[in-house]
Amino acid sequence: MRKADYLVLVALVLIAALGYGLLALRGNSSNKILIIKHDNAIVERIALKGVQAETKLSIPVKDGTIKIRYDKNGAWVESSPCPDKICVHQGKITKPGETAACVPEKVLLAIEEPAKEAEHDAIIK
């Protein structure tokens, strides 16, 4: 085996290690739970760890529809029929304990840390 072969070998091993590192990081994005409430009732609980792509969720409210988007890192209100749009301006919430609310339409987004849902594919309520 020539010196160049060894170089290729080392390069491949490095690429493989980098790939594994990236995969491990992705799979490890903590056990954050996104909770969405409407009129004080929880309408959705989402284990963000399992979210692989940006997902949209529409909630019918008294003045129309609130459009929410979320991905594995957090969630944000994309649009709302409410007059002042505070919820939209709040932007993306990503940390446990953070909330974004649309008070006129009684919709709340919250991120929490506990983990029991992350161990399940679905919760039957």
Is the Cα dihedral 100, 106, 107, 109 positive or negative?
positive
Q: In whole angstroms, how close is the CB of 84 to another protein at the nearest point?
A: 24
Q: In whole angstroms, how close is the CB of 13 to another protein at the nearest point?
A: 7
Q: In whole angstroms, how close is the CB of 90 to another protein at the nearest point?
A: 21
Task: Give the whole-angstrom CA distance, residue 23 versus residue 21.
Answer: 6
Is the Cα dihedral 125, 57, 100, 106 positive or negative?
negative
Task: Give the whole-angstrom CA distance, residue 16 versus residue 54.
Answer: 27
Q: Is the Cβ of residue 28 or residue 52 nearer to another protein in the bound state?
A: 52
Q: Is the Cβ of residue 89 or residue 121 nearer to another protein in the bound state?
A: 121
> Residue 96 in 3-state DSSP?
coil
User: Which residues contribute to the site for another protein (CB under 8 A)?
Assistant: 1, 5, 9, 12-13, 15-16, 19, 42-44, 50-53, 55-60, 116-117, 119-125
